[in-house]
Chain A
Amino acid sequence: MEQESVVQYEPVAEIGGGAYGTVYKARDRDSGQFVALKSVRVQTNQDGLPLSTVREVALLKRLEQFDHPNIVRLMDVCATLRTDQETKVTLVFEHVDQDLRTYLEKVPAPGLPIQQIRDLMQQLLCGLAFLHSNRVLHRDLKPENILVTSRGQVKLADFGLARIYSCHMVLTPVVVTLWYRCPEVLLQTTYATPVDIWSTGCIFAEMFRRTPLFCGESEVDQLGKIFAVIGLPSEEEWPNDVTLSRQNFSPQNPQPITDCVPEISEKGAELLLEMLTFDPLKRISAFNALDHPFFTE
């Protein structure tokens, strides 16, 4: 009986190995619709399904009730027993063919018109503001998990999964990209909703550039590339509780952001700088970003 729900979905293709395991495209035998299957194997100890998994999946189910247009639909959740110690939880999401990465690759030469960037950004921030107001961090925002439908509708995917996975998965040797990671995570201090705003800033710049803004190869390299653009933060701004000291980086002054993103408008540059602010507490929030003059200029 427990197998029933999984049999309902017939795998069609493997679509990318995400950081957390393989994702399958499948067909719902009932509706004929395509779906994306994401599975996580959880250790079931003597307390049954771990508390964090129960809470996180329940939270995803709860978010689903809001039917937000910029959030990918969670259509079903299945759980199957693999062994006595392991349960497989499968999350069934709506399937969208295209992500922002492929969308940007397909854009012809002069790049995206600014109106289109404005529209994409507004939808992205709406989705993010919704998650943040429900106390959900995305934590891994990047063009690969921002989906764009054929009608140009933006849908955030993979939010909240980080927490479900992180505690209970057998680690896979997949390299997670550093390019959209904010300084506070790179420096391993505490973090909150501003992490997603940093990533959004990087993606905002990428919409104009059509190549990533900061392509670091290690944590230190990533920080160096960031400081080359926003300047080395002052001694006071540098967090106290980190192992990496400020002296490891050469002093640099902030570069005009328009050197990196020449096509950006004046208001766009202002918004971008507010998103790429070193101090997470001074970084703009998703709500306030939506009210930024960039969207009305």
Chain B
Amino acid sequence: MSRTGFCDSRQLLDLHMTEDRQAPLRVWANSCILRERRVFAEGDEVGSVHHCKPAQESRWVRRLSISAEDGIIMDYAPQDESDVYEEEALLQYLNRLPGPPSLRDLVPGLLRREVEVAISKLGLLYDQTYAWDIFLDMMRSQLLCTLPNADLPKPFTDTTRAILVDWLTQVHEVFQFSEETLYLAVHLLNRALRLIKVSISGLQLLGVVCLFLAAKKEECLLPEVSELCYLMENTYSKKQLLRMERRVLIGLKFDLYYCLPLHFLLITASIARCSDKWVWMARYLLELSLLERQCVVFLPSQLAGAALRLARRILQEAPTPDGETAWCIASSIHIGSEAALLSIMQIMAMAAARAHTRETRATFIKFSTIQTLHVSMHPALKAAPGFLGLSCPRI
């Protein structure tokens, strides 16, 4: 098993875990100084502190860019031209440098470059200058996207939840929504279930409203409310649906943000130069995790990392030296413990081994098509729990 934390990812870890504020943008670095400066501004000594003293975090980020730029990595993406202190810092850095930089120094810089390329390739932003900031933001914001425990409120069980998620997956396919919408909808559902009191008979309505709100956030074309009611066999009226929408929005306080595990998966896969089959397998495993109640406590990047790792184990593609190196760099993204990764992989492996026999098969069917390279039919999936030392379910 490849190790996470290859080449001292502790810096990364510290950066994400110990900082108590939730704002990683470069702007934030600026405002941090401002905050420090506020103390001085009370008196009269204003002019003496300047913005050339970057805050802790931005200093770290800048140093990375320098280590990546000293000629060893050739096609490094150009930095913000406004950075006047770059050259001076580079000279300082070179003077301090005893010999060629060790691999340990290089990996964070490489990672940064790789992340920037991956994010632009995915079209997640308009301006590549912000790619690294956006990534740091994702790493931090995801901490707000987990639930404290996996408990379900009273009348609901694992099975009712799974049936609802499975039905939402089907509705989602009917409307040909983007994958993002499905992940967001299930996340909203997980949160709404705890915040809003609904009876068993209102559960489907709550689910469809979460999908409707996710579509309002992500999609260009919205389904009509009457279509949604029709899909529920007109059990509920349009008025009931719209009233539920308002209840959910108030319950969630209009907070519809979710840091998508799918985006972590695609970024990591792009860095790791994963084959198409590998990516589809990982996407399948990740989508299966939506059905599993226990997965709501894990970080989006952990879910993505576990899906990719498990897919790698299942497919057993022949390793190449380049591929191995790329995988090592990609692996340094993951945060959290090995134990957490292993438990997610175990949950996913069990889910994959049982997928074809369960009542909730929408995801299994979706990933059995030729467009998805038939990944859900892969013969090794039935034995997946075995790779992780679990006994395979009897079917």
Contact = CB atoms under 8 A, between A and B. Distances in A.
Given A54-B213, A58-B255, A58-B257, A48 B225 contact: yes
B217 A126 contact: no
A102 interface: no
A66 B22 contact: yes
B144 interface: yes
A130 interface: yes
Nearest to B215: A51
B50 A69 contact: no
A155 to B, nearest CB: 12
A291 B84 contact: yes
A89 B64 CA distance: 45
Contacts of B105: none
A78 to B, nearest CB: 7
Contacts of A151: 38, 42
Contacts of B144: 65
Given A2-B246, A49-B249, A288 B82 contact: yes
- Which secondary structure dominates where chain B touches chain A? helix
B256 A54 contact: yes
Q: Which bracket fits the contact residues of B?
A: 35 or more
B127 to A, nearest CB: 9
Contacts of B25: 66, 130, 133-134
Given A68-B23, A119-B41, A151-B42, A46 B225 contact: yes
A67 B213 contact: no
A87 B243 CA distance: 11
A78 B252 CA distance: 10
Residue of A47, A48, A287 with highest tally of chain B CB at under 10 A: A48
Contacts of B246: 2, 48-49, 79, 81, 87
Interface string A215-255: 00000000000000000000000000000000000000000
Interface stretch (B28-36, B276-284, B297-305, B374-382): B28-36
Given A48-B245, A69-B31, A295 B225 contact: no
A129 B217 contact: no
Contacts of A2: 246-247, 250
A288 B81 CA distance: 9
Contact of A61 (B34, B238, B241, B254): B254
B52 A296 contact: yes
Given A46-B225, A54-B249, A61-B255, A287 B82 contact: yes
Contact of A47 (B23, B50, B222): B222
A115 B37 CA distance: 13
A13 to B, nearest CB: 26
Nearest to A118: B46
A29 B27 CA distance: 35
Interface string B233-265: 000001101110111011001111100000000
Given A54-B213, A58-B254, A130 B27 contact: yes
Residue of B46, B84, B130 with highest tally of chain A CB at under 10 A: B46
A165 to B, nearest CB: 16
Interface in B29-66: 30-31, 34-35, 37-38, 41-42, 44, 46-47, 50-52
Contacts of A57: 254
Interface in B1-43: 21-23, 25-28, 30-31, 34-35, 37-38, 41-42
Return the 4 tightest CB-CB contacts between A and B, nearest first. A66-B23, A58-B256, A130-B27, A115-B46
Interface of A: 2, 5, 44, 46-49, 51, 54-55, 57-58, 60-62, 65-70, 76-79, 81, 84, 87, 115-116, 118-119, 122-123, 126, 129-130, 133-135, 151-153, 287-288, 290-291, 295-296
